[in-house]
Amino acid sequence: MTAATQRKRPDYGIDAPGVLLTLFLIGVVGQLLGFFAPPLTLGPVTIVFGLSMNIAGGIFLLEFLLMFIYVKHGKFRHRDRMLAQVQWSGNERVLDVGTGRGLLLVGAAKLLTTGRAVGIDIWSTKDLSGNAPERTLANIAMEGVAGKCELLSEDAAKMSFPDGSFDVAVSNLCIHNISKQAGRDQACREIARVLSPGGVAVISDFRLTKKYAAAFAAEGFAVEWRGPFWGDTFPALKMFVARKPS
The domain tally of the chain equals 2
Q: Helices H, strands E: what count in the chain?
A: 7, 7
In a domain, 70, yes or no: yes
pLDDT at 173: 97
User: C-alpha dihedral over 113, 120, 225, 86, to 10 degrees?
Assistant: 0
In this predicted structure, the answer to whether residue 35 has a pLDDT above a threshold of 80 is no
Q: Are residues 71 and 94 in the same domain?
A: no
pLDDT at 48: 67
Last residue of a domain, one of 76, 98, 114: 76
Task: Report pLDDT digits (tens) over 48-57.
Answer: 667 788 899 9
In a domain, 8, yes or no: no
Q: DSSP string covering 194-209, please?
A: HEEEEEEEEEEESS-H
* Partners of 151 in the β-ladder: 119
- What integer best gives the mean pLDDT of the chain? 92
Q: Are residues 26 and 103 in the same domain?
A: no
Q: Are residues 94 and 192 in the same domain?
A: yes
Task: Report pLDDT digits (tens) over 108-135.
Answer: 999 999 999 999 999 999 989 999 999 9
* Partners of 205 in the β-ladder: 238
Task: Report pLDDT digits (tens) over 16-32.
Answer: 999 999 999 999 998 88
Average pLDDT over residues 156-185: 97
What span, in angstroms and rounded, lies between the C-alpha atoms of 245 and 228? 26
In a domain, 3, yes or no: no
pLDDT at 5: 35
Last residue of a domain, one of 44, 76, 108: 76
**220: domain CATH number?**
3.40.50.150
Residue 80, Cα to own-chain centre: how many angstroms? 13
Q: Are residues 70 and 168 in the same domain?
A: no
Q: Are residues 118 and 238 in the same domain?
A: yes
Q: Are residues 119 and 71 in the same domain?
A: no
Q: Are residues 130 and 215 in the same domain?
A: yes
Pick the range with the lowest mean pLDDT from 34-38, 156-160, 173-177, 240-244.
Answer: 34-38
Range of the domain at 194: 88-243
What span, in angstroms and rounded, lies between the C-alpha atoms of 222 and 29? 48
Q: Are residues 58 and 92 in the same domain?
A: no
Q: Are residues 37 and 120 in the same domain?
A: no
pLDDT at 52: 83
